[in-house]
Copies of this chain bind each other. A is one copy, B any other.
Amino acid sequence: MSLDLAIIRAAHERIRPFIKRTPVLTSDALDAAAGARLFFKCENLQAAGAFKSRGACNAVFSLTDEEAAHGVVTHSSGNHAAALARAAQLRGITAHIVMPAGAPASKVHNVGSYGGWITFCEPNLTAREAACAQVSARTGATIVHPFDDLRVAAGQGTATIELLEDAPDLDVILCPVGGGGLLCGTAVAAKALRPGIQAIGVEPALADDVAQSLRAGRRISIPTPATIADGLRTNCTGEKNFPIIQQYVDDVVTVSEEAIVAAMRELWEKLRIVIEPSAAVPYAAIREGKLPVAGRRIGIILTGGNVDLATVPWLKS
């Protein structure tokens, strides 16, 4: 399986009953500040609070009944885990979620609220992958990787179909980059629907493995990054994703931690929505002048809105 617009369109049809059509917001004040027209696709308002519901639903509803009967399994403590648990609940099957011991109670609760079965493991990638493989071997559950799975990437690309329906004449489309599933889906859909568009990924400078990988021409792995953008703390982009990124993505730029927090606060204030730090990363690139934006029409995927409101980053208690 590769990834193309037909596959992403099929994913869109498949998941439509299970996801929300999220609004695209604009702000005269933000446009004036940027000297550009900005179109924010609000996936923070998506079911389970993140675009991850798209990829998870596509993976789960792509399974045959035979496969589905054995459930699904993933290792993630974040938005993919909650989204997969929700998708499995909607199909009436079991989702096994491998989480590191010591994961925040709010994340455990979140997965539990969608009926996910949680397996705890040591907090490192080797232990997580081993636990995931064990659960799969024992139960027959299909592994649904958070990003290195083209069914997942196809689902993530459906946000771009909707964004380009609502704002057809974009010059640029921006999204954050963690493992690269969203970036693949976004770039493939955007380039097919609007060939002249630029597709650009944005990473925290502390988590710049994809920028490094593109320069090196091969996947570079980095130690788990300490960025505030907790959705983007991946070590290395996916094996399936990297060639797609090389082929379709125009550039990947990086932003500072300070710019991420400032962008997050500005979007809360001016758009009046709650977004998580990872979702602020593309707008941070505009704020930091990392992209030529003057006079252009720019689509931005706001990826999620799951934050702990007891610890707003600009209000350290």
Partner of A44, one of B45, B272, B275, B305: B272
Residues of A within 8 A of B (CB): 23, 25, 28-29, 44-45, 47, 49, 113, 265, 268-269, 271-275, 305-306, 309-310, 312, 314-315, 317
Top 4 nearest A-B pairs (CB, nearest first) are A272-B305, A272-B274, A23-B23, A44-B272
What is the total number of copies of this protein in its complex?
A: 2
| B residues less than 8 Å from A44 (CB atoms) | 272
Which residues of chain B are near A113, meaning CB under 8 Å? Answer: 29
Chain B residues contacting A306 (CB-CB under 8 Å) are 272
A272 is contacted by which of B28, B45, B269 (Cβ under 8 Å)?
A: B45
* Cross-chain contact A309 with B314 (CB below 8 angstroms): yes
Contacting pair A309 B272 (CB below 8 A) = no
In Å, the complex CA distance between A45 and B24 comes to 11
Residues of B within 8 A of A272 (CB): 44-45, 49, 273-275, 305-306
Q: From A308, which residue of chain B is reached at the shortest CB distance?
A: B269
How many whole Å from A311's CB to the nearest CB in chain B? 9
A269 pairs with B317, CB closer than 8 A? no
A113 CA to B317 CA in the complex, in Å? 32
Give the docked Cα–Cα distance between A317 and B315 (Å).
Answer: 7
A274 partner residues in chain B, CB cutoff 8 A: 268-269, 272-274
A23 to B317, CA, bound (A): 34
Give Cα A174–Cα B280 distance, bound, in whole angstroms: 33
**Assembly CA distance A275 to B269 (angstroms):** 10
Are B45 and A309 touching (Cβ within 8 A)?
no
Closest residue of chain B to A22 (Cβ to Cβ) is: B23
State whether B269 touches A309 (Cβ < 8 A): yes
Known interface pairs A29-B113, A272-B274, A274-B274. Does A265 touch B309 (Cβ–Cβ under 8 Å)?
Answer: yes
Q: List 26 A–B pairs whose Cβ atoms lie within 8 Å, in order of A's numbering.
A: A23-B23, A23-B45, A25-B45, A28-B47, A29-B113, A44-B272, A45-B271, A45-B272, A49-B272, A265-B309, A268-B274, A268-B309, A269-B274, A272-B273, A272-B274, A272-B275, A272-B305, A273-B274, A309-B312, A309-B314, A310-B314, A312-B312, A312-B315, A315-B315, A315-B317, A317-B317
Q: What is the bound-complex CA distance between A309 and B265, given in angstroms?
A: 8
Cβ contacts under 8 Å, A310 to chain B: 314-315
**Closest beta carbon of chain B to A148's beta carbon, Å:** 27
B residues in contact with A28, CB < 8 Å: 47
Q: Which residues of the partner chain B approach A314 to less than 8 Å between Cβ atoms?
A: 309-310
Question: Given the complex of chains A and B, what is the CA–CA distance between A20 and B317 in angstroms?
Answer: 36
Least distance between A23 CB and chain B CB atoms (Å): 4
